[in-house]
Amino acid sequence: MKPRQKRIALIAGGLASLALAAMLALNALDSNIALYVTPSEVAAGKAPQGKAFRIGGLVKEGTVKRDNMTVHFVVTDTAKDIPVAYTGILPDLFKEGKGAVIQGKLGGDGIFAATEVLAKHDENYMPPEAQHAVDQVKKAQAK
Amino acid sequence: MGNHGGLEGGIGVKQSIIHWFKYASPQSFYPLAGRMIPWFWAAAAVFGIAGLWISFFVAPTDAQQGEGYRIIFVHVPASWMSMFIYLVMAFWAGLGLALNTRVSGMMAQALAPTGALMAALSLWTGAFWGKPMWGTWWVWDARLTSELILFFLYLGFMALQAAIDDPRRADKAGAILALVGVVNIPIIYFSVKWWNTLHQGSTINLNKAPSMAQTMLWGMLLMALGFWMYSIAVALTRVRAIILERERHTEWVKHALE
């Protein structure tokens, strides 16, 4: 092999082994990289016990109730539900039926005591008229 | 076309290969870059103005986020550029390492500051967007964290190159760092798919129609083109300065500066 070919082979080999190492590392870290767990994972006992963590899911329709400064709602992944209590300011995009990521601790009473509520919006961008049309179709399908 | 043979058409394959390698020499790349720069600046201005006009005046309000979503027209092009420039930079760095071509290392060095600027812009506009929409400036989710790592990779590349006096050795050390960092690019891109993140998934995908109104998409693509042209113009301007600096002892630079 010429020195140039040798160098190219070395670089290619180095990159391939690096990619493999990174893949294995990421695979091992998998659950630690996740920002939140879903209500189903909490129900399956995958949430850290006695420690603060984040749950992510949809704010269940018709469950948001305000009681003075405290907001009660239910977060769901459509399979499992978790009731949440939060005292503080909610982001503007926090809405029933929309995504949210909630940090806090699971109390003994099964209610998730939140310290922070973040809104998670989706990747769709459209004018209000188009959104209205989409909503109409969804309503028609639900009937 | 100009009187530089490489730009004339109708030449044989063998000859054209020789002409391509000609531009691997700093002496012939310097004037070529100089001739291209004004065109890229002009294109950057045209695409930038058209993109901004659509972004602010033509694209409709978003149903969920109202007017605040318009930061996407800077945020997404900057993020794309930050990732793409890194790939190009690593490509040149790797080429320089493998073939010992001089201009390659200079190209990598010239691209790094613009890449760092784009990564910073992406993080900064992202924070400004995150506060009103998500309710937080920053969260340690996979997308945000990997983009921050990209920013530090650029800074590390620049610092490492600056720390070594001999430019050829600086290029080699920088190239290895740049190539190792390439691993981070697919992580950024797929982070929203692989893990639970606060950052939403991709709006623009290769395998399905974009989930975005048509005019919004046009604004974003024009802005992205403008960012491309700007990045090329700035990188070429910078590479010319680097060529002059590194080749300052040669006769042709002395002539060129007279």
Specify if B91 maps to a domain.
yes
How far apart CA A80 and CA A110 sit, in angstroms, is 13
Q: Does B60 touch chain A (CB under 8 A)?
A: yes
How far apart CA B172 and CA B100 sit, in angstroms, is 9
In chain A, residues 61-80 whose CB comes closer than 8 Å to chain B: none
Contacts of A64 (CB under 8 A, 6+ apart): A71, A72, A73, A96
Query: Is the pLDDT at B219 greater than 80, yes or no?
Result: yes
Is residue B162 within 8 Å of B154, Cβ to Cβ? no
pTM above 0.80, yes or no: yes
Greater pLDDT, B139 or A143: B139
What is the CATH code of the structural domain delimited by A35-142? 2.40.50.140
Number of C-beta neighbours around residue A19 at 10 A: 13
Q: Is A81 in a helix, a strand, or coil?
A: strand
For chain B, what is the mean pLDDT? 89
pLDDT tens track for A44-65: 888 877 788 999 999 998 899 9
Instruction: Give the phi and the psi of residue B182 in degrees, each rounded to 5.
Output: -55, -30
Is residue B58 within 8 Å of B43, Cβ to Cβ? no
Distance from CA of B125 to the nearest CA of A (A): 17
Specify if B17 maps to a domain.
no
The domain containing residue B42 runs over which residues? 29-256
Q: State which amino acid sits at residue A20.
A: L
Query: Is the pLDDT at B83 greater than 80, yes or no?
Result: yes
Mean predicted confidence (pLDDT) in A73-88:
92
Q: Does A24 touch chain B (CB under 8 A)?
A: no
pLDDT computed for residue B25 by the predictor: 85
Residues of A in Cβ contact (< 8 Å) with B179: 11, 14-15
Query: Is the pLDDT at A72 greater than 90, yes or no?
Result: yes
Query: Is the pLDDT at A42 greater than 80, yes or no?
Result: yes
Alpha carbon distance, N-terminus to C-terminus of chain B: 26
The answer to ipTM > 0.90 is: no
B132·A38 Cβ contact <8 A: no
Is residue B92 within 8 Å of B105, Cβ to Cβ? yes
What's the number of domains chain B is made of? 1
Q: Does A130 touch chain B (CB under 8 A)?
A: yes
Q: Which residues of B178-216 are buried (b: 16+ CB within 10 A; e: fewer)?
A: bbebbbbbebbbebbeebbbbbbebbbeeeeebbbbeeb
How far apart CA B201 and CA B191 sit, in angstroms, is 9
Specify if B5 maps to a domain.
no
- What is the chain A residue with the closest CA to B99? A4
Per mean pLDDT, which of A33-42, B23-32, B110-119 is the most reliable? B110-119
pLDDT confidence bin for B9, thresholds 50/70/90: very low
Specify if B226 maps to a domain.
yes
- What is the chain B residue with the closest CA to A122? B200
Instruction: Count Cα neighbours of A69 within 13 Å in the Cβ-side half-sphere.
Output: 3
- Return the number of CB contacts < 8 Å for A and B: 115
